Amino acid sequence: MPATVVGIDSSTQSCKVVVVELESGEVLSTATAPHPDGTSVDPRVWLEALRNAWRAAGVPERSDVVGVSVAGQQHGMVAVDAQGEPVHDALLWNDVRNAPQAARMVTDHGLDWWMEAVNMAPISSMTLAKLAWLRENEPEAAARVHRVMLPHDWLTLHLCGEFVTDRSDASGTGYFNATDNRYRPELLEEYFDAVPELPRVLEAHETAGSLSSKWGGSGETPAVVGAGAGDNAAAALGLNLEPGEVTISVGTSGTVFACSAEPTIDRSGVTAGFADATGQHLPLLCTINAARVMTTTAETLGADLDEFTRLASSGPSDAGGLTMLPYFDGERTPNLPEATGRLDGLTRASFTRENLARSAVLAVANSLADCLDILRDIHVDVERVLLIGGGAKSDALRSVLPDTLGLAVSVPRSWEYVALGAARQAAWVATGQQPEWPRVIYSELEPTGDAGIGEFRERYGALRRRYEEQLR
Ligand SMILES: Nc1ncnc2c1ncn2[C@@H]1O[C@H](COP(=O)(O)OP(=O)(O)O)[C@@H](O)[C@H]1O
Ligand SMILES: O=C(CO)[C@@H](O)[C@H](O)COP(=O)(O)O
């Protein structure tokens, strides 16, 4: 029986499990289990979702699994007591309650200092700022914290009993520097008044441990478990991202990232200098509002996603003068945690279902285009865009993105590149070398020179600048 590996993506909205044939990279089965809505979640719920997806993908019935790895949503604060039980719900990457703590961290040391220290500006997503919130607002819970880890570390711990992490996810905590690969415990001392036990940082292809018998790991050679990765780094690994290629992922978050051999430092603090999952670096920009802007607008219009796509594709190309800023849940790029969405240009003529749907799609595309421009500004080579994530299934988004970005966009065949990246890591750990799995492109989209999309881009930029001035 050919050997298989299992990749897991524990993301904001769901847990996905893929079973992949080791030799060919063929996906043999996949399953998804939902996560609850909300920006703070009991991490035990993620374990339950993993169990459900694991079962639904048929993993317990297989005796051919040689490796397992977990990728997960970045930054989430999983803080446990001496018995290993969570002391508080995990605060997720998109929870902005700790924005004041993040702002204070910038005031304390200045942006340059933070970029030198951890190559990331303090923003509410940062795990360190979440711990600072816990210390200030839940001191009793904070006093019980024995270990702090990230969502993917929590699942790896339960799969194999080892308390480990990897560079890619550690680099988003705010207390790890991916240039010298060291924790900065003094920052925990300063902002959390204590240094909890932190997971050992493994190399990308190092083994974390063996799959526990509770998960079906038994016999002479149970499957090996890899270090795992942050979801964006896992996607880059799954895509085998090459120089000149930039990934845009449209899930709950919108992310724009590339791999680079050297660390990229953006002195403005807008680009985070994360690590990738191969030993290199992953300059990345992230927005809080992506696929859900489209799904929420569809719900408001009483439309399913097919009808929403039809609406967004049947009105004037520039959304008839309507301009939306997509900051429904606050925003991180630009860093406006208190922002709300905006809708500008309402007239009796412009306020149609078609224009509303199109302005939501164009708003998402424009927020991603702004991120891509910032990446270009810091001299990241941008030749080709690969579009992934659940929102990449949107025909409406795919049709406006090349003109909004001014660049060709390739859509790879699978939507599950995070889970596939985890599977690729599992194969690497199990065999000692990265597998040679093909990357199949599903469609290649070229800009068409659509003037309406250009008009929307200008209106969007002007509205964003006005709103930023108003808030700052
Ligand atoms: N055709 C579509 N159009 C717009 N959004 C879509 C479409 N299909 C799926 N989505 C959205 O994609 C999101 C899920 O994407 P995913 O990358 O799995 O998110 P996450 O990684 O944040 O959990 C959901 O909000 C879902 O509604
Ligand atoms: O915070 C970031 C990146 O810095 C987000 O990209 C999270 O990692 C969540 O990803 P999704 O669940 O939306 O894919």
Judge whether 429 lies within some domain: no
Over range 318-338, report the average pLDDT.
97
Please identify, by atom number, the ligand 2 atom nearest to the C-alpha of residue 93. 1
Tell me what pLDDT residue 1 has.
78
Q: Are residues 203 and 287 both part of a single domain?
A: no
Does the ipTM exceed 0.95?
yes
Backbone angles phi and psi of 230, in degrees to 5: -65, 155
Please identify, by atom number, the ligand 1 atom nearest to the C-alpha of residue 252. 22
Q: Are residues 172 and 57 both part of a single domain?
A: yes
Judge whether 101 lies within some domain: yes
| Burial letters 107-118, b for 16+ CB under 10 A, else e | eeeeeeebbebb
Tell me what pLDDT residue 220 has.
76
Is the CB of 11 within 6 Å of ligand 1? yes
Domain that holds residue 139: 4-231
Backbone angles phi and psi of 245, in degrees to 5: -95, 135
Q: Are residues 333 and 469 both part of a single domain?
A: yes
Sign of CA dihedral 447, 450, 452, 457: positive
CB of 384 within 8 A of CB of 407? Answer: yes
Judge whether 471 lies within some domain: yes
Q: Are residues 208 and 288 both part of a single domain?
A: no
Last residue of a domain, one of 206, 231, 256: 231
74 annotated among ligand-binding-site residues: yes
Tell me what pLDDT residue 332 has.
96
CATH number at residue 41: 3.30.420.40
Tell me what pLDDT residue 262 has.
95
Tell me what pLDDT residue 81 has.
98
Q: What is the overall mean pLDDT for the chain?
A: 97
CA 396 – ligand 1 centroid, Å: 13
For the cut 80, the answer to whether the pLDDT of residue 143 exceeds it is yes
Q: What angle do CA 383, 389, 392 make, to 5 degrees?
A: 75
Task: Pick the ligand that lies closest to the CA of residue 298.
Answer: 1
Q: Are residues 309 and 370 both part of a single domain?
A: yes
Tell me what pLDDT residue 375 has.
97
Judge whether 268 lies within some domain: yes
Is the CB of 303 within 6 Å of ligand 1? no
* Residue owning the nearest CA to atom 15 of ligand 1: 390
Tell me what pLDDT residue 414 has.
80
Tell me what pLDDT residue 18 has.
98
Q: Which residues pair with 328 in a beta bridge?
A: 330
Is the CB of 292 within 6 Å of ligand 1? yes
**Amino acid at the residue 183:** Y
Spell out the SS3 assignment of the chain.
CCCEEEEEEECCCEEEEEEEECCCCCEEEEEEEECCCCCEECHHHHHHHHHHHHHHCCHHHCCCEEEEEEEECCCCEEEECCCCCECCCEECCCCCCCHHHHHHHHHHHCHHHHHHHHCCCCCCCCHHHHHHHHHHHCHHHHHCCCEEECHHHHHHHHHHCCCEEEHHHHCCCCCEECCCCEECHHHHHHHHCCCCECCEEECCCCEEEECCHHHCCCCCCCCEEECCEEHHHHHHHHHCCCCCEEEEEECCCEEEECCECCCCCCCCCCCEEEECCCCCEEEEEEECCCHHHHHHHHHHCCCCHHHHHHHHCCCCCCHHHCEEECCECEECCCCECCCCCEEECCCCCCCCHHHHHHHHHHHHHHHHHHHHHHHHHCCCCCCEEEEECHHHHCHHHHHHHHHHHCCCEEEECCCCHHHHHHHHHHHHHHHCCCCCCCCCEEEEECCCCCHHHHHHHHHHHHHHHHHHHHHC
pLDDT tier at 326, thresholds 50, 70, 90: very high
Percent of the chain topping pLDDT 70 = 100
pLDDT in tens, 8-37: 999 999 999 999 999 999 999 999 999 999
Q: Are residues 223 and 300 both part of a single domain?
A: no
pLDDT in tens, 178-212: 999 999 999 999 999 999 999 999 999 999 999 99
Q: What is the pTM of this model?
A: 0.97
For the cut 80, the answer to whether the pLDDT of residue 408 exceeds it is yes
pLDDT tier at 356, thresholds 50, 70, 90: very high
Is the CB of 390 within 6 Å of ligand 1? yes
Tell me what pLDDT residue 415 has.
78
Question: Is 231 designated active site?
Answer: yes
Q: Are residues 196 and 273 both part of a single domain?
A: no
Is the CB of 313 within 6 Å of ligand 1? no
Alpha carbon of 316 to those of 297, 410, 458, 460: distances in Å?
18, 25, 16, 16
pLDDT in tens, 266-292: 999 999 999 999 999 999 999 999 999
Distance CA 362, CA 360 (A): 5
pLDDT tier at 218, thresholds 50, 70, 90: confident
Judge whether 194 lies within some domain: yes
Over range 224-239, report the average pLDDT.
98
Judge whether 426 lies within some domain: no
Q: Are residues 182 and 138 both part of a single domain?
A: yes
Q: Are residues 273 and 364 both part of a single domain?
A: yes
CA 11 – ligand 2 centroid, Å: 7
Active-site entry in 153, 166, 231, 370 = 231
For the cut 90, the answer to whether the pLDDT of residue 386 exceeds it is yes
For the cut 80, the answer to whether the pLDDT of residue 406 exceeds it is yes
Judge whether 468 lies within some domain: yes
Judge whether 432 lies within some domain: no
Is the CB of 295 within 6 Å of ligand 1? yes
* 16, 358, 393: residue to mutate for ligand 1 pocket, most atoms within 8 A of CB: 393
Tally of structural domains, the chain: 2
Distance CA 417, CA 239 (A): 7
Is the CB of 389 within 6 Å of ligand 1? yes
Distance CA 321, CA 345 (A): 6
Tell me what pLDDT residue 186 has.
98
Q: Are residues 221 and 310 both part of a single domain?
A: no
Residues framing ligand 2 (Cβ under 6 A)? 11-12, 73-75, 93, 125, 172, 231-232, 251-253, 255, 284, 286
Last residue of a domain, one of 212, 231, 250: 231
- Which two three-digit tokens encode residue 219? 């016999």
pLDDT tier at 248, thresholds 50, 70, 90: very high
* Residue owning the nearest CA to atom 2 of ligand 1: 394
CA 157 – ligand 1 centroid, Å: 28
Tell me what pLDDT residue 424 has.
98
Over range 79-97, report the average pLDDT.
98
Over range 126-153, report the average pLDDT.
98
Q: Are residues 8 and 135 both part of a single domain?
A: yes
- Which two three-digit tokens encode residue 158? 């339960």
Tell me what pLDDT residue 353 has.
98
- Which two three-digit tokens encode residue 408? 């060709």
Q: Are residues 191 and 266 both part of a single domain?
A: no
Tell me what pLDDT residue 221 has.
86
Please identify, by atom number, the ligand 1 atom nearest to the C-alpha of residue 389. 17
Distance CA 65, CA 59 (A): 8
Q: Name the one residue in this structure whose structure tokens are 């030749």.
A: 383
Last residue of a domain, one of 178, 196, 231: 231
End-to-end CA distance of the chain: 61
